[in-house]
Structure 1
Amino acid sequence: MTVEKQPSQTITILLVEDDAPTLWRLQEALVKAGFEVRAAANLAEARDSLAAGPPRVLLTDLQLPDGHGNALIRETRARFPETEIMVISNLGDEESVISAITVGATGYLLKDAFPTDIAATVHELVAGHSPISASIARFIVRRTQTAGEPAGEPPPGPALNTAKLTPREIDILWGIAKGFSYAEIAGHLGLSRQTVPGHIKSIYRKLEVHTRGEAVFEAVQQGLIQL
């Protein structure tokens, strides 16, 4: 229906990918879905594109010919806080995942598990979801369970909740971690849609973070939620 197609016609995507066949395939799929796509094959081209104005969505690889994608993620997050950022990469090691989320990525998908409907994934990202490969979620959980723990010791005990989150804020944070949109979180918890952003701002302030990915990572570290 026209009502559903309209949002994609107004969404600008900066697609950064150095592998030409992959770039062409993704760009073609996104353009066919009605998105405005700016393509870049390296950091320099991506920065030139950003100089022309912020995209609504940044889809970027990490291994680029002239540098690492994390530099672009960090710069984009600092300059354009409203831009949604998702990594599409072959790098699935824990360090790559955690560092990308820490510098500002909202979602992280491995290329070998990439969804066939890239347009739907972008819509989910813009709607407030955090697309993330299942194996990536397991990395985060495993890292937080084993960091600093001697071999053979049992997992950490009760949740720390050093940020003093309220039960309602923890419920909302769980919804964010599961990729629900603000409207879906409100519906599940019996809240009005307008109150959810206020709760999320409070969560960010207490956890001292700036993105959904950072909030989820910090909450898992404290044992407040489980993925």
Structure 2
Amino acid sequence: MTQPLADGPISVLVVEDDAATRRALCLGIEKEPALKLLGALDCVTSALDWLSHQPVDVLLVDLGLPDGSGVDIIRFCAHHHPACNIMVITTSSDQESVVDSIEAGASGYVLKDAGLLDIGRSLLELHTGGSPISPVIARKVLARMRDGKKTSSAVRVESAPGAAQVFLTKREATILDLIARGDSYGEVARQLVLSVGTVQTHIKNIYDKLSVHSRGAAVYEANRRGLLQMDQLKSRP
């Protein structure tokens, strides 16, 4: 085992909603002398509240949480505690989740089914400047680079005359089209193989970018800015 650092152990916050997984992660952290578990939370709300009041050296976070996406926690932590090292541990291996997490501030991304994961060793590697990434995730990132796509996956959308330009991710643009056609959040989640919480997070980001607070206002503003096609609005699946 690695011995504790001279300036004290590395503090860790865990955010994981599955009780068994959370317990296993905590046990793995507690048996590593160089790490100190500060808290183990199960949702976005409690994590944001915790991070609002104190810093942490390392954040270990799941993406699919009951009240939203772990990406929001990553983004909040990266903004308020830029020195914190962030690692994702999740079952989500889709390229969009990987890119969203990295863009938000994550430096590591490992899958829960990655065999006998030594969580203590992975967190120490992260804290010392490494980027623990499951092989399947690394392959997806390399494939994306080979395809010549920008890591941000941002698309620049031209606005209507007189309106400020809006930048949406490809996932946001897709969700915007679906809700404009009248799909419910549940239907959008099923079509895109996402959790409803993740869809709601994307929709909140869309609302923020369009400076609106409702679905109707979002559709109206998006159409005014030239983000939607009228025939798309009229043709529902």
Fold equivalence (TM over 0.5): yes
State how 1:47-196 maps to structure 2 within 5 Å. Answer: 47-113=48-114, 115-147=116-148
CA distance in 2, matches of 1:42, 1:119: 22
How many residues align? The count is 146
Q: State the TM-score, normalizing by the size of structure 2.
A: 0.58
**Aligned-residue CA RMSD in angstroms?**
1.8
Which stretches of structure 1, 4 residues or more, deviate above 3 A after TM superposition?
none
Offset of residue 130 of structure 1? 0.5
Offset of residue 147 of structure 1? 4.9
Secondary structure at 1:91 match in 2: coil
Q: State the TM-score, normalizing by the size of structure 1.
A: 0.60
Letter in 2 for 1:36: K
Letter in 1 for 2:124: H
Offset of residue 36 of structure 1? 2.1
Give the structure with higher Rg (CA): 2
Secondary structure at 1:116 match in 2: coil
Segments of 5+ residues of structure 2 without an aligned counterpart are 150-237
Contact 2:48/2:76 (<8 A) preserved: no
Contact 1:115/1:121 (<8 A) preserved: no
**Post-superposition CA distance 1:87-138 (Å, at most 9, x none):** 0000001111111111110000011115432111111111110001111111
CA distance in 2, matches of 1:70, 1:6: 30
| 1:5 aligned to which of 3, 14, 21 | 3
Offset of residue 82 of structure 1? 0.5
Segments of 5+ residues of structure 1 without an aligned counterpart are 149-227
Structure in which a larger fraction of residues adopt strand: 2
Percent identity of equivalent pairs: 40
CA distance in 2, matches of 1:6, 1:138: 34
CA distance in 2, matches of 1:140, 1:14: 26
Q: 1:19 to 1:80 in 2, by over 3 A?
A: same
